[in-house]
Amino acid sequence: VLTQAPSVSVAPGQTARITCGVSKIGSKSVHWFQQRPGRAPVVVLYDDSDRPSGIPERFSGSNFGNTATLTISRVEAGDEADYYCQVWDNSSDHPVFGGGTKLTVL
Amino acid sequence: QVQLVESGGGLVKPGGSLRLSCGASGFPISDYYMNWIRQAPGKGLEWLSYINSDSSYIKFADSVKGRFTISRDNAKNSLHLQMDSLRAEDTAVYYCARTYGSGQPLDYWGQGTLVTVSS
């Protein structure tokens, strides 16, 4: 089970950090998804810290030990969304999602 | 451009069946694992099933194993989910998504189709 805080709040221009935790997650590749209300999820980071084309450099990631982190710098109102982490569970051989974190831009 | 479009959702009674489809364009699904993921109202994402490129390997989440069947038609570039013995807790938006293989991200998703199970 991937553990995410239910909510994170940050003021515009500040930095948001969204974490995803499980034992030894640092040994796995973590992917991050953004889901705006009423929309399908969109991958914003893959393989811990790689950005697909079109994703701003403000989105970055790290993954060490038991915690993976999605960092959003210079947060904008448009970043307000739910964010999900995902790994591939080798024991069950399928994707697993975190519970999601709602990012609120104050 | 890459596009995935789900269809087939709707209102169904408990115990009933429904068949979802996912039409792909802009890429050949034969190169990808194809997945179904759902999201209950106000809840998070739940992976349900995937099927590999040639349909030789299929996985299901325990929550739907034995009730749902996944299939693909590479010639028609489409993916299907047959849902039987539906329960109220199956009410959700159902998404299809592609992944290049084990461990790879679900890099493109459809817009989803709503399934409501209610009497």
Q: What is the pLDDT of residues A31-73, one digit of tens each?
A: 999 999 999 999 999 999 999 999 999 999 999 999 999 999 9
pLDDT (0 to 100) of residue B1: 93
pLDDT(B95) > 90: yes
Pairwise CB contact (< 8 Å): A99 & B44:
yes
pLDDT (0 to 100) of residue A42: 97
Q: What is the mean pLDDT of residues B32-61?
A: 96
A35-54 residues touching B, CB cutoff 8 A: 35, 39-43, 46-47, 52
pLDDT in tens, A73-86: 999 999 999 999 99
**B45 contacts chain A (CB < 8 A):** yes
pLDDT (0 to 100) of residue B103: 86
- The overall average pLDDT reported for chain B is 96
pLDDT (0 to 100) of residue B4: 98
pLDDT (0 to 100) of residue A5: 97
pLDDT (0 to 100) of residue B106: 94
pLDDT(B45) > 90: yes
Number of residues that this document lists for chain B: 119
* Amino acid in position A36: R
List of chain B residues whose C-beta atoms are within 8 Å of the C-beta of residue A43? 105-107
pLDDT in tens, B9-18: 999 999 999 9
Shortest CB distance from A40 goes to which of B50, B103, B112? Answer: B112
Place of tokens 């811990």: A48
Q: How confident is the model at residue A93 (pLDDT cuts 50, 70, 90)?
A: very high
Query: Cα separation of B46 and B42, whole Å?
Result: 12
Phi and psi (nearest 5°) for A55? -90, 130
Say if residues A94 and B61 touch (Cβ distance below 8 Å): yes
Q: What is the mean pLDDT of residues B46-74?
A: 96
CB-based contacts of B53, cutoff 8 Å, min separation 6: B30, B31, B32, B33, B74
